Structure 1
Amino acid sequence: LLPPPSIVPTTIKGGEWWVTYPASCEVALDVTYLPVQADADGWASGVRTQIERAVRDATAPDAWSAANPPRFTWDTELAPAEVAPSHPVVNSLLSSATSLGRSPRILGEPSWTDAATLTRLADTPAVCLGPTATRPDGSPTLHTIDEYIELTDLLSTAKALALTALDLTTPAPTL
């Protein structure tokens, strides 16, 4: 359901002028990993160790790098979470959205959402359901320069969420 893990350099800082060697270089990375790669506590200690080892191994043959080994600072970690596709909240959302004429799909969310915090730290299985957010040609409208959603899409999402809330909180009738 999820794409492969990734390491994306998001910022690089170094040097003061274009004709000099920089005294240092700093690279910020966005590291995503799968829930199965998390350690026993759900965090990325093993992933961090693998990345640090790979960088050290790659720089070890260089004399300057050996004398000035890379340093690592890990500041923000947003742990992954997963909810089984067969979970009642997933089934209820699928049913609610389908009853409104939508065509929901079960997908993995490759970026972090609050659902991970609810699932992992509050023991409340949480998943995402949102507007379709696509143009008539199928291209996305979310997180684009001209980001928008259609009002009918917003209303359909609100209805699906309301139906799911009712389904999951209404006691079953007693016979």
Structure 2
Amino acid sequence: MIIIIAASFAYKLPQGAKVDRTEDKKLKIKTFLNVKIWKNKKFVIWTIGLPCAVFGYYVPIVHLVTFVSINFPADDGKILVMCIGASSTVGRLAFGIISDHEKINRVLLQQISLISIGVFTMLLVAANTWIYMILLCLGIGLADGCFVSLIGPIAFDLCGPEGAVQAIGFVNGISAISITVGPTVAG
């Protein structure tokens, strides 16, 4: 990062070069908002579907400690949140490697991970022992790791190298709204 910052300070126009300010403004607008990616139907469907799918994404993490204090008063709910975080780390590493294989359909793998998160979350209310709670939280974490590690590669697959950065930004920005509202509505 330091090298990139230093290189950006070292950038300068060739001597004697004239800059057309109107062209410069048009170029800045085009690089800020790449409308070309919105003409890609697969990207649009993914961008609309993902925020709908992550509406309940943070519900278990936000409400898990309270749920445990009510249903398992002798146990500490923070341990389950820690299990989700630890297995998410493992899932990100594992599924990052798995998704690099050519025969893997990344979009399908992400859909499976989102369905898994939903199923594990619903099973939390049916868990009647502490060990089941831990196993379900480990499953949520692995699926979370898979989901998160695939956002970038899917954006790259759908929009190419020139549109991937903005695709990730748009998806994360739109998803942030439903991720924020979801736990509040569930509470």
Larger relative helix fraction: 2
TM-score, normalised to structure 2, is 0.22
In our comparison, the structure showing a higher alpha carbon Rg is 1
Larger RCO (alpha carbons 8 Å, 6+ apart): 2
Larger relative strand fraction: 1
TM-score, normalised to structure 1, is 0.23
